[in-house]
Chain A
Amino acid sequence: MQLTVWTYEGPPHVGAMRVATAMEGVHYVLHAPQGDTYADLLFTMIERRDRRPPVTYTTFQARDLGGDTAELFKTAARDAYRRFKPEAMIVGASCTAELIQDDPGGLARALHLPIPVIPLDLPSYQRKENWGASETFYQLARALAGASAPAPGTARPERAEGVKPSCNLLGPTALGFRHRDDVREVTALLAALGIEVKVVAPLGARPKDLARLGEADFNVVLYPETGLQAAEWLKRTFRQPLVKTSPIGVIGVRAFIEEAALIAGVDPGPTLKALAARSPWYSRSVDSTYLTGKRVFIFGDATHVVAAAQVARDELGFTVAGMGTYSREFARDVRVAAATHNIEALITEDYLEVEAEIAKLNPDLVLGTQMERHIAKRLRLPCAVISAPVHVQDFPARYSPQMGFEGANVIFDSWVHPLMMGLEEHLLSMFREDFEFSAAAAPSHLGAHSGNEPAASGIDAAKTEETHSSQASAAAPAVWAIDAEKELGKIPFFVRGRARRNAERFAADRGIATITMETLYDAKSHYSR
Chain B
Amino acid sequence: MNAQTPLASPIATASAPAAEQNILRERGQREVFCGLTGIVWLHRKIQDAFFLVVGSRTCAHLIQSAAGVMVFAEPRFATAIIDERDLAGLADANDELDRVVAKLIERRPDIRLLFLVGSCPSEVIKLDLSRAAARLSKVFSPGLRVLNYSGSGIETTFTQGEDACLASLVPELPAEAPGAAPSLLIAGALADVVEDQFTRLFAAMSIAPVRFLPARNSQDLPPVGPNTRLLLAQPFLAETARALENRGARRISAPFPLGAEGTTAWLQAAADQFDVDEETFDAATAAGRERAGRVLERHRPSLAGKSIFFFPDSQLEAPLARFLSRELSMRIVEVGAPYLHRQHLAAELSLLPAGTMLSEGQDVDRQLDRCRAAKPDLTVCGLGLANPLEAEGLRTKWSIELLFTPIQGYEQAGDLAELFARPLDRQNRLKA
The distance in angstroms between the C-alpha atoms of A96 and B127, with both chains bound, is: 13
What 0/1 pattern do residues 90 to 123 of B give for CB contact below 8 A with A?
A: 0001001101100110000110000000001101
Residues in B whose Cβ lies below 8 Å from that of A294? none
A47 to chain B minimum Cβ distance, whole angstroms, is: 10
Residues of A near B36 (CB, < 8 A) are: 35
What is the CA–CA distance of A40 and B32 in the complex, to the nearest angstrom? 10
In the assembly, what is the distance between CA of A458 and CA of B417, in Å? 22
Interface flags, B59-98, vs A, CB<8A=1, else 0? 0111011100111111101111111101100000100110
| A126 closest partner in B (C-beta) | B84
Which residues between 19 and 33 of chain B lie within 8 Å of chain A, taking CB atoms?
Answer: 28-33
What string of 1s and 0s marks CB contacts (under 8 Å) between B145-158 and chain A? 00000001111010
Q: Are B120 and A125 in contact (CB under 8 A)?
A: no
> Given A4-B79, A7-B57, A462-B44, do A35 and B388 touch, yes or no (CB 8 Å)?
no
Q: Which one of B180-188, B216-224, B249-257, B378-386 is at the A interface? A: B378-386
Q: How far is the CB of B181 from chain A (nearest CB, A)?
A: 35
Contact B153 A374 (CB under 8 A): no
Interface pair A37/B83, CB less than 8 Å apart: no
Residue numbers in B under 8 Å from A34 (CB-CB): 30, 32, 34, 153-154, 157
The residue on B at minimum CB distance from A374 is B72
A41 contacts the other chain (CB 8 A): yes
Question: Interface 1/0s, chain B 22-57, versus A by CB < 8 A?
Answer: 000000111111111100000010000000001011
Report which of B29, B66, B70, B125 forms a contact with A59, defined as CB distance below 8 A: B29
A96 CB contact (under 8 Å) in B83, B154, B384: B154
Chain A residues in 8 Å Cβ range of B62: 35-36, 38-39
A100 contact set on B, CB distance < 8 A: 124
Residues of B within 8 A of A10 (CB): 57-58, 61
User: Is there a chain B Cβ closer than 8 Å to A187's Cβ?
Assistant: no
Contact yes or no, B388 A459, CB < 8 A: no
Q: A1 and B109: CB pair below 8 A?
A: no
From A50-58, A150-158, A407-415, the one touching the partner chain is: A50-58
CB neighbors of B among A1-49 (8 A): 1-7, 9-11, 13-14, 33-42, 44-45, 48-49
Q: Is the CB of A41 within 8 A of B56?
A: no
Q: Provided the pairs A374-B72, A462-B73 are in contact, do residues A35 and B153 lie with their beta carbons within 8 angstroms?
A: yes
Quick check: B384 and A40 within 8 Å, CB to CB? yes
- Select the residue from A65, A95, A378 with max chain B CB neighbours within 10 A: A95
Assess whether A1 is in contact with B97, with CB atoms less than 8 Å apart: yes
Cβ of B373 within 8 Å of any chain A Cβ, yes or no, is no
CA distance A51 to B384 in the complex (A): 9
Within 8 A of B (CB), among A111-129: 124-126, 128
Per a CB cutoff under 8 Å, which of A52, A64, A65, A95 touches B121?
Answer: A95
Q: How far is B79's CA from A65's CA once the two chains are assembled, in angstroms?
A: 24
Q: Are A36 and B87 in contact (CB under 8 A)?
A: no
Please give me the residue from chain A that is nearest to B68 by CB atom: A391
Q: How far is the CB of A224 from chain B (nearest CB, A)?
A: 22
Residues on B with C-beta less than 8 A from A64 are 154
Distance in angstroms from A93 CB to nearest chain B CB is 11
A5, B58: Cβ atoms closer than 8 Å: no
Q: Knowing A3-B100, A7-B64, A463-B73 touch, does A95 contact B58 (C-beta < 8 A)?
A: yes
B75 touches A5 (CB 8 A): yes
Asked whether any CB of chain A lies closer than 8 Å to the CB of B365, the reply is yes
Q: In angstroms, how far is the closest chain A Cβ from the Cβ of B122?
A: 10
B93 to chain A, nearest CB (A): 7
- B387 interface hit (Cβ, 8 Å): yes
- B61 pairs with A7, CB closer than 8 A: yes
User: Once bound together, how far apart are the Cα atoms of A116 and B92, in whole Å?
Assistant: 41
Q: Which B residues between 152 and 166 are near A, CB-CB below 8 angstroms?
A: 152-155, 157
Residues of A within 8 A of B430 (CB): none
Residues of B within 8 A of A44 (CB): 383-388
Interface size of A in residues (CB-CB distance below 8 Å): 62
Contact with B along A392-417 (1 / 0, CB 8 A): 00000000000000000000000000
Q: Is B391 an interface residue (CB 8 A)?
A: yes
Residues of chain A lying within 8 A (CB to CB) of residue B84: 125-126
Query: What's the dominant secondary structure at chain B's contact region?
Result: helix
Q: Are A60 and B154 in contact (CB under 8 A)?
A: yes
Taking a contact as CB atoms under 8 Å apart, the answer to whether A7 and B29 are in contact is no
A61–B152 Cα gap in the complex (Å)? 9
A463/B387 contact (C-beta < 8 A), A7-B61, A76-B29 known: no
Nearest chain A residue, comparing its CB with the CB of B123: A62
A40 neighbours in B (Cβ, 8 Å): 31, 383-385
Is there an interface contact between A5 and B34, defined as CB atoms closer than 8 Å?
no
Docked CA distance A278–B70 (Å): 39
Q: Which residues of B contact A36 (CB under 8 A)?
A: 34, 58, 62, 153
User: Looking at the complex, which one of B35, B65, B93 makes contact with A41 (CB distance below 8 Å)?
Assistant: B65
Enumerate chain B residues within 8 angstroms of A360, measured Cβ to Cβ. none
Asked if B154 and A41 sit within 8 Å, CB to CB, the answer is no
Inter-subunit contact A1/B86 (CB<8 Å):
yes
Contact at A1–B99, with CB atoms within 8 Å? yes
> Which of B56, B66, B99 is close to A38, meaning CB atoms less than 8 Å apart?
B66
Q: How distant is the Cα of A2 from the Cα of B81 in the complex, in angstroms? A: 5
Q: Is the CB of B73 within 8 A of A61?
A: no
| A41→B87 CA distance, assembly (Å) | 29
Q: Which of A2, A3, A35, A51 contacts B34 (CB 8 A)?
A: A35
| B153 in contact with A33 (CB, 8 Å) | yes
Q: A473 at the A/B interface (Cβ < 8 Å)?
A: yes
- Closest chain A residue to B155 by CB distance? A62
CB closest chain-B residue, reference A13? B58
Shortest C-beta distance, A33 to chain B (Å), equals 4
> Could you say which residues of chain A place their CB within 8 Å of the CB of B66?
38
Are A37 and B384 in touch, CB under 8 angstroms? yes
B32 contact set on A, CB distance < 8 A: 34-35, 37
By the criterion CB–CB under 8 Å, are B29 and A56 in contact?
Answer: yes
Of residues 383 to 432 in B, which have CB atoms within 8 Å of A's CB atoms?
383-388, 390-391
A1 with B83: in contact, given A44-B388, A96-B124, A459-B73 (CB under 8 Å)?
Answer: yes
Q: Is A424 an interface residue (CB 8 A)?
A: no
Chain A minimum-CB-distance residue to B34: A35
Query: Contacts A49-B387, A61-B154 known; A35 to B71 CB distance under 8 Å?
Result: no
Q: How far is the CA of A473 from the CA of B103 in the complex (A)?
A: 17
* A303 beta carbon closer than 8 Å to chain B: no
- Shortest beta-carbon distance, A372 to chain B, in Å? 11
Bound: A94/B28 CA distance, A? 17
Alpha-carbon separation in the docked complex, A96 to B34 (Å): 13
Is there an interface contact between A33 and B34, defined as CB atoms closer than 8 Å? yes
A469 interface residue per 8 A CB criterion: yes
- Give A126 to B153 CA distance when docked, in angstroms: 22
Known contacts A6-B71, A11-B57; 8 additional CB pairs below 8 A are A1-B81, A3-B100, A11-B58, A34-B32, A35-B36, A125-B56, A459-B73, A460-B73
A-B contact pairs, 15 of them (CB 8 A): A1-B83, A5-B77, A33-B152, A36-B62, A38-B33, A51-B391, A56-B29, A57-B29, A59-B30, A59-B153, A60-B154, A96-B124, A99-B121, A459-B70, A463-B74
